[in-house]
Structure 1
C-alpha cells in the first residue's frame, strides 16, 4: 500500500515538473523566434513592396501589436482561440491550421522511429548480452568495432550508400520516393500510420509495399542507433555480472540462463533510459533520413517552416515534439519505478 502511494506521488511530481517545463519552453520559444534576425513580413510581401502593403501584411499576421499582446493572443487568454483552447494558430505560408499540418507529418516520423527502435532492440540486446558474456573475445571485439564504425558517419551518408547498394546495384529495394509506390493508392487515412491504415482497410498489397519502402529507412536508422544501444547493454551487463547478487547466484550453483536473466533485469534500466532519450532526440533529428527517402515527416516540415520564418509552425512543432518527449520520459520514469521501486524514494 505504501509503495503504491509513493508511486502515485512520484508520477504526480513528474507530471507537475513536465507542466512547468512545457510552460517555460512555450514562453522561451515564443520570444526567441521573435528575436531572430529575420523579417517574416518582408519575406511574404517581398522586399520591393510598398509601405502600405507591408503594414497591411504586418497587421494580418498580428505583428503590429505589442509583444505581450501577441503572447496573450497566442496563449488564448481573453480570446476564443489560442494555445489553451488547443489551437496552434494558422501557418503564415499555407494558411492551413498548424495542428492539421503537424498531424499529417508527425505519424510518418513516429512510424519510422517505432519500427527502427523495435528492430534495434531485437538486434542490439542479444548482441550486447553475448558481448558481455565473452569480454575480450572475437564477439566482443566485433561489437566494439561495429559500435565505432556504425556511429562514426552521419545517417544521411549511410542512407545514400544503402540506396546505391540495394536499389541502384542490387535492385532489391524500391526507389526512395516516399512511403508507398506512386503506382499504388495510399490507404484511407484513419490513424495517420500508413501500415496500420493499410491493415484497417484490408489492403495487403499496399501494406507490403509500405513495408518494402520502409526497408531502407529503417535499415539506416538501425545501423546508426544499434551501436550506442549495444554498448549500453554490454556495459550494463558487465556491471550487473560483477554485482554481489550475481556472484552469490553463481556461487549457489544456479543455471547460467537464470543468472543471466537476473543480470538482465538489473541491466535493462539504463538501456531503456538511453532508448527513450534517443527516441526523443530523433523525433526532430531524423530529418536527414526523411529527406534522403522523401518521406515527408515532421523533420522536413520543421526545416521548411524555419526557412520560411513561419512563426506559428515553428512554435507548434517545438511544442508538439517537446510534449511527446516529456510523455516518453514520464513513461520511462514509471517503467523505471516498476523495475526498481527504490527510485520513488529518492
Structure 2
C-alpha cells in the first residue's frame, strides 16, 4: 500500500503552470493594452472564485455576503492612499486590515449555521455599505476616484496593476493549495462533511473555520482593492452589490464546487461568456442564470466534477490517494 499526493497528471500540470506563469510575465512585452486589461479582470475573477470556493466548497460555509469584504478592500485602499501612501502598497495593507477585521466578525458569524450564516453575511454586507456611506471622504453614493493613481503614467499604471493582479492571484492560489494539503485543510473538509464526527476525533472546528474565514476575507478584499485599481473609481453601491457574490457563486457552481480546478475553470468560462455576450444587456444576465440552473440540475458537481468523475483526472490534488491495496483472501472468497 502506498499513499500518494501527486499523480502523472499533476506532474505535467506543474510544468504547464510554470510555463503559463512565465508566459504571463513576458506577455506585456508584446500584448496590446486591451489584452492586458482583460487579463487583469480574469485574474481578479479567479481570485474571487477561489476564495468563495474556499468557504463553501471546502468548508461548507455558504455565504451570500462576500461583497462585504470586496467592498471593504476597495474602501480601505481609498482611505489608506488618502494618507499619502502608494496605492500599490495600500492594496496589500487594505487586504491585511480587512483580514484582521474578519477575525472578530468570524467570532459571532461562525456561530450561525447553514441559511442563518448565509443571510447573516448578507446583512453584514448591507450594514458595511451603510457605514461606508457615512464617511465624508466617500461623499455618499457619489463616490470618489483613486486620485493617487494619477502620479503614474498610464502605461506604467496599467503594467503595475497587471503584475499586482498576477502576483496576487498566483500567491493566493499557492497559499490555498498548501493550506488545503495541511492538517487544517484536511480538518476543514472533515468539518464540512460531518462537523460532529470531526469534533469527536479532536478537531477544533471553531479554530479551523476561523482561519479559513479569515483567508477568504483577505483574498476577497484583495480582489476588491485590485478591481478599484483597474476601475479607478469607488462608489459604495457598486462595490457592496450582491452581484459580486452572485458572480462568485456562478463561477464555482459551474466550474465545480469543492474542487480546486473547478473554481479556476468556472472563472475562465465566466470570463469568456462576459467577453463575448456582455454587450447583449439583460439577455446576458438571463443566460448566466440559465447556465447556472442547468448546471445545478444536470451537473451538480460542476463541469470539472463531471470530467474528474468520468475520466478519473485530477490535475491539482489536494488530498491523499491510496494505491496498491489488494483485497484479502476473505474478500476474494466472497
TM-score, normalised relative to structure 1: 0.29
State the structure with bigger RCO (CA 8 A, min sep 6), 1 or 2.
Answer: 2
